[in-house]
Amino acid sequence: CLDECPELMIEENGVCVCRDGTFDVGVLDCQPCDSSCATCVNEANSCTSCANGLVLHMNQCLDECPEFMFGENGVCRDCHENCFTCDGSSSSDCLSCDNDSFLSSGSCVDSC
């Protein structure tokens, strides 16, 4: 029985687990996540959630989502296939279109 959990760990249901912002590296041992991560798993820069103001994309925390994606609840999500940039997943959430389309009331259309 443990009297107290080691540093960077907390007790949950009688078991020592890594605190948020750290990851498990072995028996009763945790290491800090990268500063961009709020939480991570297996290694410091494998983020599962991001620090304030950043968005999660493929286990990395970024300032903004890549093209064809938008940020929602701190995670990058795909735009509708017709959009180049967007602020939602619907076909009417486009902010810009590819070179072959025109933006009309939030939707990408073939002609004006």
Confidence (pLDDT) at 4: 86
Parts of the chain with a pLDDT under 70? 1-2
24-49 residue pLDDT tens: 998 789 999 999 999 999 999 999 99
Confidence (pLDDT) at 18: 94
DSSP letter at 68 equals: T
The dihedral of CA 69, 64, 30, 1: what is its sign?
negative
Beta strands (DSSP E) in 2-93 are 9-12, 15-18, 22-26, 29-32, 37-40, 47-50, 55-57, 60-62, 69-72, 75-78, 85-86
pTM beyond 0.85: no
